Structure 1
Amino acid sequence: MPLDQQAATWLAGLAGVPALNEMSVDDARATYRAVVEQCGLPPEEVAEIAEHRVAGPHGDVPVRVYTPKGSGLFPVLVYLHGGGWVIGDPDVVHGPCTVFANRAHAVVVSVDYRMGPEDPFPAAVDDSIAVLDWVRERAAELNIDQDRIAVAGDSAGGNLAAVVALDARDRGIPLVGQVLIYPAVDFDLETDSMRENGDGYFLTLDLLKWFVERYAPDPTDWRAAPMAAADVSGVAPAYVVTAEFDPLRDGGEAYVTRLSEAGVPVIHRRYDGQIHGFAANLAGVMDEGRAAVESIAEHLRTVFRLGWTPRLWE
């Protein structure tokens, strides 16, 4: 399909703006936050938003907890923001997290994990796992049902969500699902989608390299690249979103195939005509981004209420 017109208009607006990888890390973080403030999904009202700090192996991890209206026990979604493990924070996914809380009628825990270059791999992984454990330990305090926990994330956050799901399987922690929004599952820069979409669609090859150099310059551990896991069978059922004009498209779709071949229930939604970031960060200016967020929320609502019934993926 041709590039979505709203995506094309947004990309045209970037003309003359320096690329994030041409900035200092601090400036890139500030710019990314400013872009999302202008283009992200407006937040909805929820019953409560609370800030907590979770003890982790590298120190406290800030989390933002969204509680919907109504009474529990609520299911819970642990959400991990994107940004190449270098930029981003809970603010850049604030709008979607309120939608997930309201539509799925779930508590959402948004994680402010450590990032490179100050805290490279595996700090982000360790922080994310620590938050999952904290959620389970604080189930009574958070008014949640620890038997209905899902993980989700976009881009680098999708990477972390996939890793957390694999780690949970290995430790015998049941998850009802994982949602991977255009996830970075490996560091292969030679795929067709990398060659086709590595320049001109916001997330470029140069920016990807800039991120990787600051997060995991020599990634050899599956916890940096979940595609490298020896076995993905038995992991939580997955809902995976990819975008046609995204350099990460082929990696995400290869992970869909890997999960499916391992017997993991998986739903894949490719959004033709769309670019990286269209859902989590740009849904305020892209109709399909908003539709994708709503679709994810509806999927979570169904899974939290009914579990993974065959009709979900057949």
Structure 2
Amino acid sequence: MALDPAVKNLIDTLNEQGLKSFEQMSIAEVRGVVESFSDLQAPNADVARVVDTVYPGPGGDQAVRLYIPESETPLPIVVYIHGGGWVAGSLDVTEQPCRALAADAKVIVAALSYRLAPEHKFPAAPEDAFAALNWVVEHAADFGGDGTRVAVMGDSAGGNLAAVTALRARDTGAPALRAQVLIYPVIDGTARFPSREENAEGYLVTTAAIDWFWEQYLATPEDAENPYASPAKAADLAGLPSTLLLLNEYEVTRDEGVDYGRRLADQGVPVQVELYEGLVHAVYWMTGAIPRSAELHGAVVEFLGKQFSD
């Protein structure tokens, strides 16, 4: 399918402005560009409460922001992990999508921060994410949550961390998860699928940029074989929670997501894979600029409704 017209218009505009590819930027520039995605978002939805607090991580306290819709009963919880190549991203740039998810899915969204690379390389980020999940479940009742109905969710590098967190929860036997939502996850540090060549340039995030993000994140090249860095390297995927995988046509990482979905299904995990033609990486954060980002949001809301229905 042809590139979505709104996506093409955005890419053309960014090219006219001279935006460099991420691997050509400094760390500070990458972080600034990622934060600027908030300029592409729709107005914030209303929720009953927003609570800023901290969870105790292995490297010290980290911020977590709770988006709580109106409810008289304990609500399901979605632990959301932001993307940004493990290098960038924040609670502020994901404020709008987190508010929308809390309001529309009637869930508490616990958005967590974590230590970023290259200052803090693997395994800092997944250690923080797993600590945050455990803290959220332990304290669920304190903010009106139901600790028996919990999902992990993330986009891009956050999708990687969500998948890793689900693996760790399975491997350690707790906490129990109802679901994982992986939005265009970057999950294989040694991937060599056709989409790396087909979509190498011209679609916001290049193959060179993906490789550069992995280089910032991993402490050694050998870490790419570790399932807690590259969840696609896990030989055994059985016992993982019901999974929603949202992938885009013009993605460097599209095919590794397709392959992960196939392997989950082959090992008995209930999995729903949605491939959006004409779309590119990062559209989940572009709710104001790319109207079809609503399709991804709607799929997440519908999926979570089914997983949390009892």
Q: Work out whether residues 99 and 294 of structure 1, in 8 Å CA contact, stay in contact via their aligned partners in 2.
A: no
Residue equivalent to 1:52? 53
Structure 1 residue 234 corresponds to structure 2 residue 236: no
**Selected match of 1:225 from 223, 230, 233:** 230
2:94 aligned counterpart, secondary structure: helix
Q: Which residue identity does 2:6 align to in structure 1?
A: Q
Helix, strand or coil: the match of 1:305? coil
Matches within 5 A, 1:287-306: 287-306=291-310
Q: What is the alpha-carbon root mean square deviation over aligned residues? A: 1.2
- The 8 Å contact of residues 80 and 158 in structure 1, kept in 2 or not, is answered as yes
Distance (Å, rounded) in 1 between the aligned partners of 2:260 and 2:91:
26
Letter in 1 for 2:186: A
Quote the offset at 1:52 in angstroms.
0.9
Partner of 1:285: 289
Moved more, 207-216 or 118-127: 207-216
Distance in 2 of aligned mates of 1:152 and 1:51: 19
DSSP 3-state at the match of 1:30: helix
Match among 232, 238, 256 for residue 251 of structure 1: 256
Cα displacement (A) at 1:114:
0.8
Q: Distance in 2 between matches of 1:259 and 1:41?
A: 34
Residue 211 of structure 2 corresponds to: 209
Alpha-carbon distance, 1:80 to partner: 0.4
Deviation sequence 1:174-222 (CA, Å, 0-9, x none):
1110000001110235211010001110110121122111101412311
1:6 and 2:11 equivalent? no
Aligned pairs (5 A) from 1:86-125:
86-125=87-126
Deviation string 1:40-61 (CA, Å, 9 cap, x unpaired) is: 2432010111111111111111
1:103-159 deviations in whole A, cap 9, x for unaligned? 221111001111100101110000000011001111221211111000000000000
Equivalent in 258, 265, 272 of residue 270 of structure 2: 265
Q: What corresponds to 2:153 in structure 1? A: 152
Cα distance between partner residues in 1 of 2:153 and 2:239: 17
CA deviations 1:26-75 (Å, max 9, x no partner) are: 121012111x1211243201011111111111111111111011223111
What is residue 34 of structure 2 aligned with on the other side? 32
Tell me if the contact between 2:189 and 2:225 (Cα under 8 Å) persists in the aligned partners: no
Query: 1:47 & 1:134 partners in 2: Cα distance?
Result: 22
Retained in 1: the 8 A contact 2:38–2:94? no
Counterpart amino acid of 1:28? V
Counterpart contact for 1:103–1:301, Cα < 8 Å: no
Output one character per residue of 1:232-259: Cα deviation in whole Å (capped at 9) or x when no partner.
0010110000000001100001000010
Question: What CA distance in whole angstroms lies between the structure 1 residues aligned with 2:190 and 2:275?
Answer: 20
TM-aligned CA deviation for residue 272 of structure 1 = 0.6
Q: Matched residues, percent identical?
A: 38
Measure, in 2, the Cα distance between the counterparts of 1:86 and 1:41. 24
Q: Secondary structure at the match of 2:142?
A: helix
Aligned partners of 2:75 and 2:140: how far apart in 1?
9
Partner amino acid, structure 2, of 1:138: H
Q: TM-score, normalised by structure 1?
A: 0.94
Residues 129 and 164, structure 1, Cα contact 8 Å, conserved in 2: yes
Match of 2:183, as an amino acid?
I
CA distance in structure 2 between the partners assigned to 1:172 and 1:267 by the alignment = 24
Letter in 2 for 1:185: I
Q: Which amino acid aligns with 1:170?
A: D
Q: Name the counterpart of 1:312.
A: none
The answer to whether the 8 Å contact 2:78/2:107 transfers is yes
Structure 1 residue 18, shift from structure 2 partner:
2.1
Counterpart contact for 2:156–2:185, Cα < 8 Å: yes
User: Is the 1:99–1:297 contact (alpha carbons within 8 Å) kept by the matching residues of 2?
Assistant: no
Aligned to 1:180: 182
Counterpart CA distance in 2 for 1:54 and 1:118 is 20
Q: Distance in 2 between matches of 1:136 and 1:300?
A: 17
CA distance in 2, matches of 1:92, 1:226: 25
- Structure 1 Cα separation of the partners of residues 177 and 67 of structure 2: 19
5+ residue gaps, structure 1, are 307-314
**Whole-angstrom CA distance in 1 between matches of 2:190 and 2:13:** 29
Moved over 4 A (4+): none
Inter-partner Cα distance in structure 2 for 1:117 and 1:297: 33
